Amino acid sequence: MRSMVQYVARKNSVTQVVARQLIDDYLQMVEAGALLGERVPLGRIGRLLYGVRPPQKARVGRNPASGEEITIPARPATAVPRMRFSSYIKQRTAALPLEDEPQR
């Protein structure tokens, strides 16, 4: 976050305090929009939205270590955040050189 604040401050000829406040306000707006269930555009990056994970019924499973049967409880439907990246970002990312072993 510090490097982002420094970049915005230098680029817009403002103090780091002002830049930090602008970034904080923007992030608050993005968070509020997402929590209200709106699609929040993020410029050329993409958009933030939310989806619904369907409910799951209770089911019987097995403990992999002991083989004992266990009951896995039901879960209600839940809202989950989703990020849709723009074709611009997808194309730019596809053009990046890959390392031998991707880091995870």
Q: Which helix (H) or strand (E) holds 51?
A: strand 46-53
Q: Which band of pLDDT confidence, cut at 50, 70 and 90, is reported for residue 92? A: very high
* Residue (of 76, 100, 7, 82) closest to 40 by Cα position: 82
Task: Report domain extents, the chain.
Answer: 1-36, 52-93
pLDDT digits (tens, 9 = 90+) for 36-89: 989 999 999 999 998 999 999 999 999 999 999 999 999 999 999 999 999 999
* DSSP H helical ranges for 1-104: 2-12, 16-35, 87-94
- Rounded CA separation 38/71 (Å): 36
Its pTM stands at 0.68
pLDDT digits (tens, 9 = 90+) for 4-44: 999 999 999 999 999 999 999 999 999 999 999 899 999 99
Q: Which residue is associated with the tokens 């050329």?
A: 44
pLDDT digits (tens, 9 = 90+) for 55-67: 999 999 999 999 9
